[in-house]
Amino acid sequence: MKKNITKRILAALLAAALAFSLAACGGGNNADGSEGDDTASTALTEQEYQQAVEDLSTEMSEIQTNASTAMTDPEAAKGILEDMKASINDFASVTPPEAYADAHEKLKSGCESLIAFIDTVAAMSEETDQTKLAEMSTQMGEQLQAAMTDMAEGASMLEGASE
C-alpha cells in the first residue's frame, strides 16, 4: 500500500509541474531581468508579472527535480506538495497588470484546480476504502484536466497579451 501512495504522490508532483510548464511558455520575455514583489496587493508591472510567471516555472522545475525523493520518502513528498501549493497560492494571489488580467484569471482558475488536485492526492494517501479511492481517482482526473485546460488557455492568452 505504501508503494501505491508513493506513486500517487509522485504522479501528482509530475502532473503539477507539467501543468505549470504550460503556463510558463506564455510568459513572454522580461527584458530587464527585474524581479517584482509577486505578493503585492497593487498591480504588478508587465515586466514584474512576466517575472512572476518565470519564477513560478523555475520553482515548479525545481520541485519536479526534487520529486525523485517521493519514490523513497512519502513524508518528504507530502512536504514537496505543500511547497508546491504555497508557490501556486503565491502566484494566484498577485494582482496582474491590466493587460494580463484576463489571462491571470484563467491561470488562477488553473491554480485552484491544481491545488484541489494536490489536496485530493494527499487525501488519497490516507484513504483505504477502495470505493472512495476510485471516486477520488476520478475526481483527480477531472481536477487535473481542468487545471491543464485553464493553464493552457491562460498561457495562450498571456502570450497574446505580451505581443
Q: How far apart are the first and last CA of the chain?
A: 49
Give this prediction's pTM: 0.75
Q: Using 50, 70 and 90 to split pLDDT, how confident is the model at 32?
A: very low
Tell me the C-alpha distance between 9 and 85, whole Å.
13
Give the pLDDT mean for 12-37.
49
DSSP state of 26: T
- pLDDT tens for each residue of 120-160: 988 887 888 999 999 998 998 899 899 889 988 988 898 88
Q: Where are the domains of the chain?
A: 2-27+40-162
- Compute CA distances 19 → 4, 97, 107, 121, 133, whole Å: 22, 23, 10, 16, 23
CA-based R_g, the chain, Å: 16
- Choose the weakest-confidence range: 62-66, 94-98, 151-155: 62-66
CA nearest neighbour of 110 among 163, 158, 162: 158
